[in-house]
A and B are shown apart, each in its own frame.
Chain A
């Protein structure tokens, strides 16, 4: 059963997956675009090179969000189009079907992660690093995988929610923004949206994986 769900989900998202995987493989390689023999360059050039690699690394959390969000949405696209009639008429409890879909999406999310790991490994092997500079392909790949899966899980849950549930979430966000505007009008320094975002992106918030340093090369 899982094999068939995985296969069907793969078929529906294979083009997006192929494109994302190529990008995931290419992004770490961009870090070494400026040259492979870094060990021989001067201190100034090394600093410049590290800044460039850092800029590339800053793209990665956004890329993880893109991969996770896209796979989360694609997991349900065809069921939403069919108003979930096919899924609901199958002889499995709803929770089991959701678990099958989630599991299949999780496996598929590992494909771009594997591509990124491969790209990071190739990039790390392609350069001769000077003393004091290290490559972190494994750490970066694990971080990317966790970030992708976190975003995937959130978007998957939102996409599978009932329309009433989705409206409730949109309503809550709108209410928070309106409350902030009200607080701003009264000169208050407190912001509900900012505090919520802070709570989500600071450990142990679920999105804390997206912030912090994402570096393939570092001292």
Chain B
């Protein structure tokens, strides 16, 4: 086994003018629950599709579960559970038929576990998928991928549009599975607070580029909004990453990443006075991170 469940190097993909995935280098550690954040159109779904061979990258390399993609794709997919952004199951099948169909393709498919999950999710065996509610389809998709007993779960907005009760059921089943098997989870979502609760790593995607990739604790604790007096106008080498800065009356507000308390000394060294250090929650940090990345691109 390798250290990373997913590792890409300088991945390139340009489906047409106006959008491209550029120099994408992802590193998802084995056993991690990796939250893949980004605004609409950032390239999250495209990245997932590239990882799973649904689209062909035009450059770069990928290793998934220690295997080279897309060359060893069938072997990778046999150990990967995928929940796409839009449900992809054949809608004319019933729940039981969909389970039998899906399970036939996976050697490790756990039929007893699938049945347990079906009962737990209260999915009627004979109901046609076309007649299931959105929440029930979401549960069925999670059931199918968990019963595969995968080493890697790739979930593209798995709880999008689900009500809070269903969302909780789905995430509970997911976390139970991860606790049992130490599987790696790569989950993209718009719901920042949801990821904050379950993820231990985070990657932020914007306009086809990976803007940040760091442990969740570093993201949550390391992003600060600092109000300064006498802030330097030119910033040279800093022990942190300056995400953004803006004037607020006489003061200046900096948003920094990689903050640690001893860095106070750096400000004293440049003659600035720290008036206030504010913790940002994940959503605020995410927004500031995107804002900083976009203004840097604009420059």
Residues of A within 8 A of B (CB): 1, 3-5, 7-8, 11-12, 78, 82, 85-86, 88-93
A to B contact number (C-beta, < 8 Å): 53
- The residue in chain B whose Cβ has the minimal distance to the Cβ of A85 is B88
A-chain residues with CB within 8 Å of residue B82 when the two chains form the complex:
89
CA distance A88 to B51 in the complex (A): 12
Within 8 A of A (CB), among B85-129: 86, 88-93, 97, 100-101, 104-106
The binding surface of chain B is classed by DSSP as loop
Structural contact, B89 and A93, CB atoms closer than 8 A? no
B105 touches A86 (CB 8 A): no
Residue of A78, A89, A91, A92 touching B90 (CB-CB under 8 A): A78
List A contacts of B75 (CB < 8 A).
91
Contact across chains for A90 and B105 when beta carbons are under 8 A apart: yes
Task: From the candidates A1, A8, A82, A88, name the one contacting B53 in the complex (CB within 8 A).
Answer: A88
What's the minimum C-beta distance from B152 to chain A, rounded to whole angstroms?
12
* Chain A CB within 8 A of B153 CB: no
Contacts of B104 in A (CB 8 A): 1, 3-4
Instruction: Tell which of A8, A88, A91, A93 touches B106, judged by Cβ atoms closer than 8 Å.
Output: A91
Closest Cβ neighbor of B106 among chain A residues: A91
CB neighbors of A among B160-175 (8 A): none
B105, A12: Cβ atoms closer than 8 Å? no
Assembled-state Cα–Cα distance A88/B92 (Å): 19
Check if B84 is an interface residue, CB within 8 A of chain A.
yes
User: Which residues of the other chain, A, contact B105 by a CB distance below 8 angstroms?
Assistant: 1, 90-92
A151 to B75, CA, bound (A): 34
Known: A11-B92, A11-B93, A12-B90. A89 touches B84 (CB 8 A): yes
Nearest-neighbour CB distance to chain B for A17, whole angstroms, equals 14
Contact between B54 and A8, CB atoms less than 8 A apart: no
Q: Is B239 an interface residue (CB 8 A)?
A: no
B53 proximity list for chain A (CB < 8 A): 88
